[in-house]
């Protein structure tokens, strides 16, 4: 499914359900490739590659993203690169996701073109409104709960900010941050349609089964 932008180009539609993210240090010794293969087997529809320097070199990340792009393309899964639009362009990813302190949305658009998705992390109402004006295609809403998945994470924004986005944002969004199977129901009850669980998935003993179960709860 695709949507037309203002320039008449086609870009992928943002899917409901589970939004997968790689996190190799939480993956119980498994490689990103192994984890993503299992995510795809479980029915994931959108995947973000999130690894950082200096944990991996640009060469290592590029090689991984090329392999993951092949997997995701064959499976019809949207492939998003976190932070590195140059890698996204080299592997022909479906989009880029950035934070508030990363490259501006307008500059990323010039790099990757009009038919790719750009996601922007937001942590409050002003940032959500600014994301619309900046031309983001979707926003990240969080961290909803406390999380240690990222080293530079901000304080939890809580369900109140999620409620605000549900009421006011014209953009699709992904709820993220500290979401586990035991509190997923709360997030869905507050109106989230796309939800990211990181360690709950990449650290699961049976990733494919876990994704199937979480997808079923969301859809």
Kindly name the residue from 89, 150, 212, 213 that is annotated as catalytic: 150
Question: Catalytic: which of 45, 69, 109, 121?
Answer: 121
11, 27, 45, 50: which is the annotated catalytic residue? 50
Phi-psi region of 83 (alpha: psi -120 to 50; beta: other; left: phi over 0): left
**H or E element, residue 11:** strand 10-12
For residue 98, give the DSSP letter. Answer: E
Rg over CA atoms, the chain: 16
Cα distance from N-terminal residue to C-terminal residue, the chain: 17
Q: What gap in Å lies between CA 15 and CA 9, rounded to an integer?
A: 18
Q: Phi first, then psi: give them for residue 94, nearest 5 degrees.
A: -85, -10
One-character DSSP codes across 47-85: EEE---TTTS-HHHHHHHHHHHHHHHHHHT-EEEEES-H
Distance between CA 145 and CA 85 in Å, rounded?
Answer: 28
Contacts of 28 (CB under 8 A, 6+ apart): 202, 203, 205
Q: Is 1 helix (H, G, I), strand (E, B) or coil?
A: coil
d(CA 13, CA 194): 12
For residues 87 and 146, what is the distance between their CA atoms, to the nearest angstrom?
A: 30
Q: Is 73 a catalytic residue?
A: no
Does residue 50 have an active-site annotation?
Answer: yes
Q: Is 27 a catalytic residue?
A: no
Residues annotated as catalytic are: 50, 121, 150
């Amino acid at each position: 499914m695709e949507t037309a932008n203002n320039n008449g180009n086609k870009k992928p539609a943002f899917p409901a359900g589970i939004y997968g993210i790689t996190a190799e240090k939480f993956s119980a010794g498994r490689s990103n490739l192994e984890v993503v293969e299992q995510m795809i087997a479980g029915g994931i529809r959108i995947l973000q590659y999130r690894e950082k320097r200096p944990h991996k070199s640009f060469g290592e990340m590029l090689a991984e993203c090329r392999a993951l792009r092949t997997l995701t393309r064959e499976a019809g899964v949207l492939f998003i690169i976190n932070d590195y639009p140059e890698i996204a362009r080299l592997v022909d990813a479906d989009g880029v996701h950035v934070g508030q302190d990363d490259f501006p949305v307008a500059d990323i658009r010039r790099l990757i073109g009009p038919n790719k998705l750009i996601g922007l992390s937001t942590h409050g109402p002003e940032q959500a409104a600014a994301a619309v004006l900046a031309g983001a295609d979707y926003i990240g809403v969080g961290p909803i709960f406390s999380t240690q998945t990222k080293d530079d994470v901000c304080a939890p924004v809580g369900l109140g900010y999620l409620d605000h986005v549900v009421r006011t944002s014209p953009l699709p969004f992904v709820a993220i941050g500290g979401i586990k199977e035991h509190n997923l129901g709360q997030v869905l009850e507050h109106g989230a349609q796309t939800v990211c669980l990181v360690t709950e998935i990449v650290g699961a003993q049976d990733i494919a089964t876990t994704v199937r179960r979480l997808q079923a709860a969301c859809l």
